[in-house]
Chain A
Amino acid sequence: EAGVAQSPRYKIIEKRQSVAFWCNPISGHATLYWYQQILGQGPKLLIQFQNNGVVDDSQLPKDRFSAERLKGVDSTLKIQPAKLEDSAVYLCASSLGQGVGYEQYFGPGTRLTVT
């Protein structure tokens, strides 16, 4: 089966510009996650969707980050305006469900550089 797809793979922008990332989860996976991974650290959850509803966005900087998952399938994550500290890899993941034992499948990530 096809894995989690993300685009673009790389993006370089200047601070104060805006950027958007796209994610297509594995078919049939109801739960979708966006993570931010700063160099040298583990991934940190930004937002979790169950179908098209938000389950957890407690760590999303809502003054500049937004995310949506229309129709419960694809998702976009937007940063507006970007700051230097937003330079990171943004990982999208999906899983069949939200339970404790459900494995998350990750996409290849988008590497964002803010100059």
Chain B
Amino acid sequence: AQKITQTQPGMFVQEKEAVTLDCTYDTSDQSYGLFWYKQPSSGEMIFLIYQGSYDEQNATEGRYSLNFQKARKSANLVISASQLGDSAMYFCAMRETSGSRLTFGEGTQLTVNP
């Protein structure tokens, strides 16, 4: 069964605007972690932000924030004040305690327009 679902194959945003990238997940574990990674055209995976299932506050890292809605099993990434350099592929991933494998979604290609 698909563990991580990213329903937006591509997203477009104007420079300086905010954008939300969707991620839903499926797990029966009570303890798990959610990650977002950025993959530019160069290919390297860059860690952006982490949210633990027991964290009461939404995670934030600079212009990145994670909108965590546990009951809905969603972990959307919000990028504020988009920059041209934000154009990249974005992956949502989950790690369950029952197995330590990091499972990735299919990704969302974000394009920031000037």
Contact surface of A with B, Cβ cutoff 8 Å: 33, 40-45, 48, 55-56, 89, 91, 93, 98-101, 103-109, 111
Contacts and interface: CB of A to CB of B under 8 A. Distances in A.
Given A42-B91, A100-B97, A108 B104 contact: no
B106 A55 contact: no
Contacts of A33: 102
Nearest to A97: B100
A108 B44 CA distance: 5
Given A33-B102, A42-B106, 5 more contacts: A56-B101, A100-B96, A106-B44, A106-B46, A107-B44
B104 A104 contact: no
Interface in B89-111: 91, 93, 95-97, 99-107
A3 to B, nearest CB: 9
Given A42-B104, A42-B106, A101 B33 contact: yes
Contacts of A91: 45
Contact of A103 (B32, B47, B91, B101): B47
Nearest to B107: A42
Interface range for B? 20 to 34
A108 B101 contact: no
Contacts of B8: none
A101 B52 contact: yes
B43 interface: yes
Contacts of B101: 45, 48, 56
Nearest to A106: B45
A111 B41 CA distance: 13
B105 A42 contact: yes
Nearest to A101: B33
A93 B45 contact: yes
Given A55-B100, A98-B100, A104-B102, A109 B95 contact: no
A30 to B, nearest CB: 12
Interface in B62-90: none
